[in-house]
Structure 1
Amino acid sequence: MKAVVCQQYGSPDVMQVEDVQKPLSGSKDILVKVSVASATAADCMVRQGIPI
């Protein structure tokens, strides 16, 4: 599956789209399929190391 991954703090340039393994669910877990997600201003602030 595809995921946006940030390995460090910084500008949007540090975000990389990568192929990652599908997570495994345990015996008491469920796996939810997400079709669409968004990034908010708070997400951008956290990525830049700005406390919210």
Structure 2
Amino acid sequence: MRASHAPCRSPGDDPLGACVTGTSALAARTGSKLFVWTAVVLYVLLILYVLLIAA
């Protein structure tokens, strides 16, 4: 029997949140300015996505 995949129904289920978390962890671990700014941009995109879903 195949498992069915439910669509993303909340911002917490979105892969963007995982990308933000992973990039933030890399930024904290490496101290790389590239990862820091990438994490900031992804976090802003995540906030905009949540606001879009809430609207």
Which structure carries more helix by proportion?
2
Fold shared, TM-score > 0.5 on shorter chain: no
TM (norm. structure 1) is 0.24
Which structure carries more strand by proportion?
1
